[in-house]
């Protein structure tokens, strides 16, 4: 993985279930990972299981994009045609409703 998040980066993300009462589009997205037409947006992180809760869009398929869990370790293992998944190191936390790709997925 390019620009792997540090433990300090991960500590800034609320733990699993901490935002359970927050509407999906009101959740704050703390990290963005991407490769080609696929994006993962992380809103929660379980340190023990190394799982994120967030939104995933695979292969620009907005109709089937969804909220759910994805593994940091599995993201680190993704390599397509010799290219590793990347983390947007310039990402600024913001509400899901402010992220165009998530809004597109919710409009299906």
DSSP result, 2-24: BTPPPHHHHHTSPPTTTTTTS-G
70-96: average pLDDT? 96
Instruction: Give CA torsion, residues 72, 78, 83, 86, to 10 deg.
Output: -20
Contact assessment for residue 70 and residue 55, using Cβ atoms and an 8 Å cutoff: no
**C-alpha span between 97 and 87 (Å, rounded):** 20
pTM over 0.85: yes
pLDDT-based confidence at residue 63 (cuts at 50, 70, 90):
very high
pLDDT category at 29 given cuts 50, 70, 90 is: very high
Kindly state the helix (H) or strand (E) to which residue 73 belongs, with its residue range: helix 72-77
Whether pLDDT at 64 is above 90? yes
Ramachandran category for residue 61: left, alpha or beta (phi over 0 → left; psi -120 to 50 → alpha): beta
């Amino acid at each position: 993985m390019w620009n792997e998040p540090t433990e300090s980066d991960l500590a800034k993300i609320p733990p699993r279930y901490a935002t359970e009462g927050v509407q999906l589009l009101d959740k704050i997205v703390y990290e963005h990972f991407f490769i080609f037409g696929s994006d993962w947006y992380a809103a929660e992180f379980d340190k023990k299981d190394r799982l994120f809760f967030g939104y995933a869009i695979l292969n620009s398929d907005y109709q089937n994009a969804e909220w759910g869990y994805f593994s940091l370790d599995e993201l680190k293992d993704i390599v397509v045609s010799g290219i590793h998944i990347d983390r947007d190191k310039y990402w600024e936390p913001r509400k899901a409703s402010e992220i165009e790709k998530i809004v597109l997925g919710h409009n299906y």
